[in-house]
Amino acid sequence: MDQLPATFVQGFHDESSVRKMKYVSFGNTGLMVSKISLGTGTLSKFYGDLVETEGIKAVHLALKKGINYIDTAPYYGQGRSEEILGKALKDVPRRAYYVATKVGRYEMEYDKMFDFSAKKTRASVENSLALLGVESIDVVQIHDVEFAADLSVIWNGTLPALETLKAEGKLKHIGVSAYPMDVLKRVISGAPGRFDIVLCYCRNTLIDDSLKEYLKFFKSNNLAVVCASGHGMGLLTNAGPQPWHPAHDQTKQVCREAAEYCKQHDVELGKLAMYHFIQLDGPSTFLSGMQSEALVNINLEAFFDGLTPKELDVLDYLSKCIFPKIVEKNWEGIEVKQYWNAMKLMHN
């Protein structure tokens, strides 16, 4: 690119990488965001043990290489992700990045997991500002709205609270996230013009391409689309998913088979997944969790250099011979059902 982005800082960035990175208009926000963005759910115990110093180094490397959009949430490690990210950002010029966090989903215990109330929303944003060490958060998203007992709490509680905080200058743009695509469509349709950003995850992967159907709707609502988790929350990596992963057993089994095939051919399934993930036209940015410098390098390599002929052959084989065996492409409804069953048991 001829022009360096507004987030470029001489002396901080690796200029040649920044020039190679693609920057895309972020809906109607006026921001230009890097095509690859940094997810920090991995800066917590969700994805295994984390060495804090390694996580901080990964953040620094990602930013220096031209990534300028970072996503976190209070739920990731119950504040741990925001805390580690805040430590990393102390050494980064504020204009070098845009930071996004969330409200609505908090604790591991079912009875304290969700709170979409206006009061909790305000307290959460204040806490995120303190942990991240910033005066204003670029994007605050309402997290996993499919768990709300009724979407009216989002429209009448969470969203107005965020709009008030925006008017106070504590945040700049408002977004929404969910796993079920139809819920995202409903929540956006119920508050026309009030959301700037939509985050969809695990919906544009080697096993599920359902985001494609909804892109036109999102675009018609002038939303910036954050396409997250091309690795299917670890499902599409050689290491495999964490024990908590909600996918069906048969889906996990097929993905394990794919990972084994990759290992036999000395290929990383995660790199193939990343490459496939970023080919879709429409999303502004492709968000991927990276908790080590090695993962930052693998993901950026998939973007900057594409795949080797050998990797392309392996990807072709998986796409034709292994992934078509999957019966259930998504795990929609599984977590919501678990949540409401647990809540029912508690209140009986």
Active site residues: 76
The C-alpha torsion from 97 through 103 and 107 to 109, rounded to 10°, is -150
Token pair 């689309």: residue:
225
Residues in CB range of 296: below 8 A, 6 or more apart:
58, 61, 62, 65, 290
Question: Max CA-CA distance within the chain?
Answer: 64
CB 17 within 8 A of CB 66: yes
Name the token pair of 14: 């690796």
User: Would you put residue 187 in left (φ > 0), alpha (ψ -120 to 50) or beta?
Assistant: alpha
Please report which residue ranges of the chain form alpha helices under DSSP H.
Answer: 15-20, 52-64, 80-89, 110-113, 118-132, 152-153, 159-167, 181-189, 211-220, 249-264, 269-277, 293-304, 309-317, 334-347
